[in-house]
Structures are given as C-alpha cells and as structure tokens.
Structure 1
Amino acid sequence: MKIVGAVAVLLEARGRVPQRTVIVVRDAACVAAARRYWDVARRGSTTCAARRRGAAA
C-alpha cells in the first residue's frame, strides 16, 4: 500500500506470478481508511535504531 498525497492509494493485488497488478483508488473514504491504518501501524512500530539501543519491541 502506498498513500499518494492525500488523494489516492496504490494497492497491490495478487495476480498471476510473476505479474503484479496495481490498483489506484481515489475514493475519499478509502484514502481516509488507508491513512488511519498507516497511523495506527506507525504508532505500534519502532525504528531499527531504537531496537539497536534496546527500546521495547
């Protein structure tokens, strides 16, 4: 998933190997949901540097 600005989301769909399919979604509700997902994922993550320093995983 890639958020493009605040206007679109690129979603990778499973296709036949080795082909890939990318879907561009511009629906405002989908873009907002992707942003919320991204924000939650970032809050629950740590950086590699923090892990090296012994921060909680």
Structure 2
Amino acid sequence: MVKMGTFFGMSLGAFIFWQTMDKVHVWIALHQDEKKEKMEKEAAIRRMREELYQQQRERDSLA
C-alpha cells in the first residue's frame, strides 16, 4: 500500500512538474517574442527618424 501511494504521489508530482515547466517555457517564449517585437519597433522608429533628419538636412542645404 505504501509503495502504491508513493508511486501515485511521485507520478502526480512529476505530472505537476512537467505542466509547470511547460507553462514556464511558453511564458519565456512569449516574453522573448515581445522583446523582439519591441526591438524591431524601436529600430523602425530609428530608421524613420534618420530618414526625416536626412530630408531636413537636404531641405536646409537647398534653402
């Protein structure tokens, strides 16, 4: 009876552990995706600013 209870307890513990690890991995992946999207948006903003600065410089040099 003790062996069966121990087996059941360990099986339940392993199941809970794997489910938790799965959720942690999903959370990490989502966090990395959000970070990647944020960096891409910031890079796009930097490119747009640089283009606007270039256009402004060209207008100033023509005037």
TM-score exceeds 0.5 = no
**Bigger proportion of residues as strand:** 1
TM-score by length of 1: 0.36
Q: Which has the higher contact order (CA 8 A, sep 6+)?
A: 1
TM-score by length of 2: 0.33
**Bigger proportion of residues as helix:** 2
Structure with the greater alpha carbon radius of gyration? 2
